[in-house]
Amino acid sequence: VRIHETQGTPGEWWGSRLAVAHGYRRIGALGAGLIRVAVSSAHARGCTRFLAHVQSANAAMFQALHWTSLDETSLHGRPHHLMQADLAQYPPMHAPEHGLVTLLRRAA
Ligand SMILES: CC(C)(COP(=O)(O)OP(=O)(O)OC[C@H]1O[C@@H](n2cnc3c(N)ncnc32)[C@H](O)[C@@H]1OP(=O)(O)O)[C@@H](O)C(=O)NCCC(=O)NCCS
């Protein structure tokens, strides 16, 4: 995942390039963890509005992670939602280089 602040618009940050390798998807909240590190580290650096263009296929996942859809659009020939994170759910993370620990889901 990548994050950047919009040039000329202090406080507005964007996320992009979120991806988890095929064999590691839906096994231990790695994608959710990457989103957390991205948004919370931007929050610690002065972010007041965090946005992303989310592929429509993933919009439900982001909604469950406290993001709101602001608009629907087409990018690179695919449907996307412009979405905004609820920063209240992503407290500032001041040392993102430490990362997060996630636990592998195991069948009960
Ligand atoms: C999207 C992606 C990063 C998710 O990573 P992941 O590690 O599988 O996601 P997580 O395991 O953290 O999932 C978090 C929650 O969202 C759910 N979820 C995951 N993908 C979902 C989807 N496409 N639609 C709905 N829910 C989804 C998971 O089941 C999980 O819910 P739960 O905790 O209730 O079980 C991964 O599928 C990926 O790399 N996809 C290809 C690239 C891509 O689409 N990038 C995003 C562009 S917007």
* CATH superfamily to which 2-98 belongs: Gcn5-related N-acetyltransferase (GNAT) (3.40.630.30)
What is residue 6's predicted lDDT score, i.e. its pLDDT? Answer: 98
Q: Strand, coil or helix: what is 80?
A: strand
Count of CB atoms within 10 A of residue 82's CB?
Answer: 15
Instruction: Answer whether 1 contacts ligand 1 (Cβ < 6 A).
Output: no
Distance 97 CA to ligand 1 centre (A): 22
Distance 61 CA to ligand 1 centre (A): 6
Residue 41 has, within 13 A of its CA and on its CB side, a CA count of 19
Q: Domain spans of the chain?
A: 2-98
What's the pLDDT band for 86 if we cut at 50, 70, 90?
Answer: very high
Pairing of strands 49-55, 12-16: parallel
What's the pLDDT band for 102 if we cut at 50, 70, 90?
Answer: confident
